[in-house]
Structure 1
Amino acid sequence: MRRPVALRLQVALATTAVGAAIGVAVLPTHEASAAAGAATGYATQNGGTTGGAGGQTVRVSTGTGIHTALCTRPSSSTPIIIEVQGTINHGNTAKVSGNSCSTAAGVIELKQISNVTIIGVGTGAVFDQLGIHIRESRNIIIRNVTVRNVKKSGSPTSNGGDAIGMESGVRNVWVDHATLEASGGESEGYDGLFDMKDDTQYVTLSYSILRNSGRGGLIGSSESDRSNGFVTFHHNLYENIDSRTPLLRGGIAHIYNNHYVSLRESGINSRAGARAKVENNYFRNSKDVLGTFYTSEAGYWQVAGNIFDNVTWSSPGSDNNPAGPNPQSNTTVSIPYAYSLDAASCVPDVVRQTAGANTGLRESNGSCSPQTPAPTTPAPGPTSPTPAPTSPTPTPTQPAGPNLSIGAGSDGSSKASGTSYGNVRDGSLSTYWSPVGATGDISIKWGSATTVSRVVIREPAGTQGSIGSWQLVNHGSGAVLASGSGAGAITFPATSLTKITFRITSSGGSPKVAEFETYAR
């Protein structure tokens, strides 16, 4: 029954008062920022995933605030968008009671609810040693958040050690532009980064980073838990992981355009009848990246367009069936939704520019070019849920004006055999400079002061991902103009200088720079 206007006003005022008391800001329509973007992959099926679209927008800075926002809704299915800014931890996450929620202290509990969006805004949202638990819920969106160091043993513990965990009849979840990370494996107290079990279906994980963990994630808690599936993984970075990227027990998964780096024991582990479509991914410096491992209950895969770069394979055995060294399809998987595939060769660069929290919710256009999506609803107030980056962010936009490196000079700290400093300003991607060793400097210099505000670092074709961390330095003053990782475009305040240095401070081997372009704007 619809409440009378006067009663609805009283409820709204009461909600606002309660929110103010515990740090929940109920945003007026003209101030609420739209949670831009639309779900992809299997999250678009089964009626789709829209989260809290159309509902009230609130802004919070504590875990208790998140719980309060859920618990003060008229019902457990009333749509709501919860914007989160700041660090959420055990000290500010308490249980809140109400008819529209079922929460618990020490974990963000999304239990027996629906139609919710949680999105990081402002200076970012960090869930520190505190997991997100989704149980008996549907139509949930989580975007632009970092969840780190969630433990199942030691202190403090949260969510069984999972960064994000789903179980018990969960339907339609989209996790996007998240950074999920641990600081070790099970022996250090951590479990999975992204787990699904006990009848969880129609899930998409996109443009996210999963790193520094023993376990990436699983679908199915045991060989008998085969009621899960219809999961899409695309444009994610899995880095420095022991295994489970993911582990599939039954069900169907679509895995495309992901970048896998330093998988130490195994990668995509399809077993217990699972079927996975694995296409246009880039696997690098890893072991046993696809197959059935640690069980005799076989799983299956359809493969196409993947790149295996320095991947090693173990020998087959009774409990191990690696797909390599020459992976071949042993099933077919029909995908019910439309999607665009980036070429596997550009996946490292695209993922580097788009994946993780605080990257501007950037996505690929399906042609190896990242782009920032426009907000779905214009508003005169802050419409983007993403903070301005605190450090320069690579951008695919073509710089304006001439490349100032053409006709300039160049030098560096060292050059590997067969390479030249001049190769970085000859306009060709087929020639390059490489230092002696894994680090080094390359510089562009002019005879008189030159104003520069944008640099583009390009790697030779087929070697994307060779550059690790870097600094861009005004050689004359020693000032660091920008810092980051990987190749791409870099912007910074316009600076007048006679020499600019690109200093590579770490790499995965022998870094290569094909072009060091400089622009006035």
Structure 2
Amino acid sequence: MRRPVAVRLCAGLAATALAAVAGVVVAVPQATASATAGATATAAAAGATGYATQNGGTTGGAGGRTVRATTGTAIHAALCGRASSSTPIVIEVEGTINHANTAKVSGTSCNTADGVIELKQISNVTLVGVGGGAVFDQLGIHIREASNIIVQNVTVRNVKKSGSPVSNGGDAIGMESDVRNVWVDHVTLEASGGESEGYDGLFDMKDNTQYVTLSYSVLRNSGRGGLVGSSETELSNGFITYHHNLYENIDSRAPLLRGGIAHMYNNHYLRLNESGINSRAGARAKVDHNYFEDSKDVLGTFYTTAAGYWQVSGNTFDGVTWSAPGTDYRPAGPDVRSNTTVSIPYPYALDAASCVPGVVSRTAGAGKGLLVSDGSCTPQTPAPTATATVTTPAPTPTPTGTSPTPAPTPTTAPPAGTNLSIGAGSDGSSKADGTSYGNVRDGDPSTYWSPAGPTGSVSVKWGSPVSVSALVIREAAGSAGTIRTWRVVNADTGAVLTSGTGAGAITFPRTSLSKVTFEITGSAGTPKVAEFETYAG
């Protein structure tokens, strides 16, 4: 086994003392053949997949120190001992993490709490199970106002929202409030019952969480697999990939999607007892080469009249039963057909659905050696990628995923042509009291939209795709210069079209899309967008 070498923490003597009290050991990474070192090296080398590769990518703590933690308090101390909240760090976890050994730790680079692993208001962190394994027992992992996070090779079990003890609102892993770029890989998430027994979701995302991948994981024995969006009006989440996961003995929410885009491929769904992939409130799911077995109503829009959509291909339905449709219950089967199209911006290799149960059984979950599939139904150790060569700290993302290299400040000269926003629709991540999304497309510079905070997004959308290559963002009178940094996103695919600083005219390669989003990632106050004009160019 690799022997950790004690070194001084970057934050100075106070941080060193804090780490020592909490039982943190700082380790210099070494290339050894031990099982522990091998697991960590593979975690760094494998590289993120799916939507977690978009929006600048997800590298976690690559390039930072490696710290060993055997208690929840030690995990918090490692976060608090960093020079800043964005200093990269890899936290190796071994042993059982529970309420008895998880206490709040204070510091300028962290915001922690008792009774939950709190990854809050931070970035550039990898949390990876090593050695004999890491089990979070009745203790959830809470990711909030955070970006560039990797959680890998851990088990989280029996997290409750009622009864005793409670943690993380009953979610095994929960993300909320402006979360960006999270990769959860080779984890086991399990409960011992449903809501009546005190449990909630295994893998939940809400309140503006985007660019997340769940891969090679096991979710089982729960009433609720997970959700994307907390209500029919909370539609700021999306761009989620689920691949090579096992959903076993789940009543519903595998997952529940409210708005946004999700991509499910090469998953094995076994014994979904009530319903499976629940696409609602305009959500669009690409359901690709999955294996559904001994389950009920595995795809559709359930328990609502707010329809969602799906594109299906290559799936196997083995022992699946379908209910009759009703007003608020619309299964996709038994004649499962696509009712939308979804464009995926990243490369991926598909295993044939027929071999998915075998591949997933050998690769999914904690303690499986981080094996992956090569796209031809053969589990293997993942090949190193460019992620493994990162030797410098990752750029510091803001909570909303600002691009690290903004483009030049735009000018205010408008493009020629017709403003396509007039007569279009609009929505967004949030709106301040007295403002409206519709104000950005009404042609009236005296009305405006503001987010419910210093950052947020607003979108213009059409009933069918249009070609757009330019837009103009006009700030309301008296607020010029408030918008500092921004991104323009193709809301159909999640691809970032361009990014930059300051309001004005913005150009990018001509793109066919049905929804374009202007996301404010940094401001000098409360932004006020009077007009969001769009042009074919």
TM-score in terms of structure 2 length: 0.68
Which residue type is aligned with residue 343 of structure 1? Answer: A
Contact 1:293–1:320 at 8 Å: present in 2 too?
yes
Distance 1:205 1:244 in 2: 15
Match runs of 1:47-58 below 5 Å? 47-58=56-67
The within-5 A match list for 1:102-251 is 102-251=111-260
- Matched position secondary structure for 1:278: strand
In structure 2, give the amino acid aligned to 1:72. G
Code of the residue aligned with 1:330 in structure 2: it is: N
Alignment of 1:420-499 (within 5 A): none
Tell me what 1:298 maps to.
307
Code of the aligned partner of 2:107: G
In 2, Cα distance between equivalents of 1:9 and 1:88: 23
Distance 1:211 1:107, change over 3 A: same
* In structure 1, C-alpha distance between the alignment counterparts of 2:64 and 2:217, rounded to whole Å: 26
Secondary structure in 1 matching 2:231:
coil
SS at match of 1:360: coil
Which shifted more, 76-85 or 16-25? 16-25
Task: Count the aligned residue pairs.
Answer: 371
Matched residue, 1:505: none
Q: Distance in 2 between matches of 1:375 and 1:21?
A: 36
Task: Give the equivalent residue in structure 2 for 1:72.
Answer: 81
- Indicate conservation of the 8 Å contact 1:364/1:371, yes or no: yes
TM superposition shift of 1:18: 3.3
Q: Which residue of 1 aligns with 2:428?
A: none
Cα shift at 1:372: 1.4
Contact 2:184 2:214 in 1 (8 A): yes
Whichever residue aligns with residue 105 of structure 1, its letter is: D
SS in 2 for 1:312: coil
Would you say the 8 A contact 1:216–1:241 is kept in 2? yes
Aligned partners of 2:102 and 2:114 also within 8 Å: yes
**RMSD over equivalenced CA pairs, Å:** 1.5
Q: CA deviation at 1:30?
A: 3.1
Q: Do the aligned partners of 2:15 and 2:80 also contact (CA within 8 Å) in 1?
A: no
CA distance in 2, matches of 1:258, 1:236: 5
Aligned counterpart, 1:19: 19
Amino acid at match of 1:211: R
**What is residue 419 of structure 1 aligned with on the other side?**
none
The answer on whether the counterparts of 2:47 and 2:384 sit within 8 Å (CA) in structure 1 is no
Query: Alpha-carbon deviation of 1:28?
Result: 1.9
State the distance in 1 between where 2:229 and 2:10 align: 46
- Give how far 1:11 is off: 4.5
CA distance, structure 2, for counterparts of residue 18 and residue 255 of structure 1: 43
- Summarize deviations over 1:314-370 as a string: whole Å, max 9, x none: 001100110000100000000000000000000000000000000000000000000
Is the counterpart of residue 38 in structure 1 residue 47 in structure 2?
yes
Structure 1 residues 346-405: Cα deviation after superposition (integer angstroms, max 9, x where no partner) = 000000000000000000000000001256769xxxxxxxxxxxxxxxxxxxxxxxxxxx
Give 1:14 shift: 5.1
Contact 2:85 2:108 in 1 (8 A): yes
Q: Distance in 2 between matches of 1:288 and 1:322?
A: 6
CA distance in 1, matches of 2:80, 2:17: 14
Shift of 1:21: 2.6
User: Cα–Cα, structure 1 residues 128 and 351, in superposed 2: closer, same or farther, change >3 Å?
Assistant: same
**2:294 partner SS:** strand
Q: 1:334-349 alignment to 2 at 5 Å?
A: 334-349=343-358
- The residue identity in structure 1 corresponding to 2:75 is I
Rounded Cα–Cα distance in structure 2 between residues aligned with 1:292 and 1:18: 50
Q: Contact conserved, 2:9 with 2:15, CA < 8 A, in 1? A: no
Q: Which amino acid aligns with 2:353?
A: A
Change (3 A) 1:151 1:10: closer
- Over 3 Å counting, the alpha-carbon distance change for 1:10 and 1:114 in structure 2 is closer
**Which secondary structure state, in structure 2, belongs to the residue aligned with residue 94 of structure 1?**
coil
Deviation at 1:17, TM superposition (A): 4.2
d(CA) in 1 for partners of 2:145 and 2:51? 18
Q: Cα deviation per residue 1:219-254 (whole Å; 9 max; x = unaligned)?
A: 000000111000000000000000000000000000
1:275-294 aligned at under 5 Å gives the runs 275-294=284-303
Distance 2:165 2:384 in 1: 38
Distance in 2 between the 1:15 and 1:317 partners?
60
Q: Give the distance between the partners of 1:320 and 1:366, measured in 2 at CA.
A: 35
1:16–1:26 Cα contact (<8 Å) kept: no
The residue number in structure 2 matching 1:513 is none
Is 1:257–1:280's contact at 8 Å kept on the other side of the alignment?
yes
SS in 2 for 1:238: strand
Shift of 1:13: 5.5
> What do residues 146-180 of structure 1 show as CA deviations (whole Å, max 9, x unaligned)?
00000000000000000000001100000000000
Q: Secondary structure at the match of 1:287?
A: coil
TM-score (norm 1): 0.70
Secondary structure of 2:133 counterpart: strand
> Partner residue of 1:90?
99
* Aligned CA distance change for structure 1 residues 318 and 101 (closer, same or farther; 3 Å): same
The answer on whether the counterparts of 1:16 and 1:25 sit within 8 Å (CA) in structure 2 is no
Q: 3-state DSSP class of the match of 1:212? A: strand
Report what 2:275 is aligned to.
266
In structure 2, give the amino acid aligned to 1:18: L
Equivalent residue number for residue 389 of structure 1: none
Instruction: Give secondary structure in 2 for the equivalent of 1:311.
Output: coil
Residue ranges of structure 2 left out of the alignment (5+ in a row): 1-7, 32-36, 390-537
Secondary structure in structure 2 of the residue aligned to 1:187: helix
SS at match of 2:240: strand
